[in-house]
Amino acid sequence: MTDTWLPSLIAATPQAGFELAVKLSRVGVKLTQPSEEMRDKLRAAYEQDTAQLIAASQVVAVHFQTIAAANNYGRS
């Protein structure tokens, strides 16, 4: 991947930060499995597997924690 697609972790709002966390997760999957055809085949299996869906949510949550820290969302 040679393009700069992530210039910053700074997000204007917490919602924008969460959307960035989802994007980070999706890009991670694309880099791990570059074949769109294979990703489409695998989607049929995980879209009905609650454990895999929960695992995907956990990945987004970890990314959001990183973005929240970078944006100081936890400030008082």
Question: Would you state the structure tokens that stand for residue 53, as one six-digit string?
Answer: 């869906």
Query: pLDDT at position 32, please?
Result: 96
Does residue 57 lie within any of the structural domains?
Answer: yes
Does residue 42 lie within any of the structural domains?
Answer: yes
Query: pLDDT at position 26, please?
Result: 96
Query: pLDDT at position 3, please?
Result: 83
Does residue 6 lie within any of the structural domains?
Answer: no
Owning domain of residue 46? 14-71
Mean pLDDT, contiguous 10-residue spans, the chain (76 residues): 86 97 96 96 93 97 97 81
Query: pLDDT at position 24, please?
Result: 97
Question: Would you state the structure tokens that stand for residue 7, as one six-digit string?
Answer: 């210039």
Does residue 9 lie within any of the structural domains?
Answer: no
Does residue 7 lie within any of the structural domains?
Answer: no
Query: pLDDT at position 76, please?
Result: 52
Query: pLDDT at position 50, please?
Result: 96
Which residues are within 8 A (CB) of 18 and not within 5 positions of it... i.e. 6 or more apart? Answer: 60, 64, 67
Does residue 8 lie within any of the structural domains?
Answer: no
Does residue 1 lie within any of the structural domains?
Answer: no
Query: In whole angstroms, what is the distance from residue 58 CA to residue 75 CA?
Result: 23
Query: In whole angstroms, what is the distance from residue 12 CA to residue 50 CA?
Result: 32
